[in-house]
Amino acid sequence: MSILVNKNSKVLVQGFTGTEGTFHASQMIEYGTQLVGGVTPGKGGTSHLDRRVFNTVADCVKETGADVSIIFVPPAFAADAIMEAADAGVGLIVCITEGIPVQDMVKVKNFIEGKNTRLIGPNCPGVITADECKVGIMPGFVFKKGRIGIVSKSGTLTYEAADQVAKAGLGISTAVGIGGDPIIGTPTKEAVELFMNDLETDAIVMIGEIGGGMEAEAAHWIRDNGNQKPVVGFIAGQTAPPGRRMGHAGAIVGGAEDTAAAKMKIMEECGIHVVQSPADIGITMAQLLKK
């Protein structure tokens, strides 16, 4: 079944003809993603990568039936791009763009509230259902088909976790890079909940980082719902000094519960199998599934 995307997903690209859009759209097509068209205002009616280009998302959705959008536009225009896609009725919006102002994301969150759409990101690597559909910038060859779900704040650790899982003889159902900004569309708990309800996901890898309370919220939800599936957890930033932003805009320790140690303690208390290094993710998962 997978979550969010599958072989039947119809994907459009916003910022289709730009450098980033062109490169990653080509990679997605090569992976087998059903990429049906793209949007670049002013270039409607032309062709790019053997797909039609439209001036608006609404036009593209109307003509192609696209139900997923991936956004490669500069930070100053990304919020408008998200809201345009939501307004056009796109069910899943994946925003790759990094550096969107926080106040812009506040407007976006308010705009999509109550709409029948889900936002992944921004500042994320995207979503991939192994061997079916890639909507993002991740290296597709790393993701082997299987029954382990991955939810991660970190892009590179998403790939590392997938590689460790594959080396342990397992594979991935879907991997979701939720993004590391202070305001994102889908927090850790919501992604975990989707995996818990997926019949083709047997276990979950949950990767977090310092800053914010998403991991604790997800851990408490997992505990309160009976630890339905095994969860292996890792928190990046264990050696980060307090008060300093590390990498992602959301990765800054604002209080005692924001540290890696505090998050790992909460996760362990809630029944999550916490590892000290991403190199232990695959081995730990394989051991849990043998029990």
Which pLDDT does position 174 carry in this prediction? 98
* Stated pTM of the model: 0.94
Of 243, 261, 262, the closest CA to residue 253 belongs to 243
Residue 132 CB contacts under 8 Å (≥ 6 apart), including other chains: 2, 5, 6, 7, 32
DSSP code per residue over the chain: --SS--TT--EEEETTTSHHHHHHHHHHHHHT--EEEEE-TT-TT-EETTEEEESSHHHHHHHH---EEEE---HHHHHHHHHHHHHTT-SEEEE------HHHHHHHHHHHTTSS-EEE-SSS-EEEETTTEEEESS-GGG--EEEEEEEES-HHHHHHHHHHHHHTT--EEEEEE---SSS-SS-HHHHHHHHHT-TT--EEEEEEESSSSHHHHHHHHHHHTT--S-EEEEEE-TTPPTT---SSTT----SGGGSHHHHHHHHHHTT-EE-SSGGGHHHHHHHHHH-
Both tokens of 23, joined, read: 């490169």
Amino acid at 285: M
Fold of domain 138-290: Rossmann fold (3.40.50)
Which pLDDT does position 258 carry in this prediction? 72
96 is in an annotated binding site: yes
Q: Is 285 exposed, middle or buried (0-12, 13-18, 19+ CB in 10 A)?
A: buried
Q: Same CATH fold, 138-290 and 11-120?
A: yes
In whole angstroms, give the CA distance from residue 223 to residue 271.
Answer: 7
18 is in an annotated binding site: yes
Amino acid at 40: T
List the chain residues with pLDDT less than 70: 1, 239-257, 291
112 is in an annotated binding site: no
193 is in an annotated binding site: no
Domain locations along the chain? 11-120, 138-290
Which pLDDT does position 167 carry in this prediction? 96
Which pLDDT does position 237 carry in this prediction? 80
Q: What is the pLDDT of residues 93-151, one digit of tens each?
A: 999 999 999 999 999 999 999 999 999 999 999 999 999 999 999 999 999 999 999 99
In whole angstroms, give the CA distance from residue 269 to residue 290.
Answer: 22
Longest dimension (CA), the chain: 58
Other beta carbons within 10 Å of 286: 18
Which amino acids are annotated catalytic? 248
97 is in an annotated binding site: yes
Which pLDDT does position 248 carry in this prediction? 59
Which pLDDT does position 211 carry in this prediction? 83
The CATH number assigned to the domain with range 11-120 reads 3.40.50.720
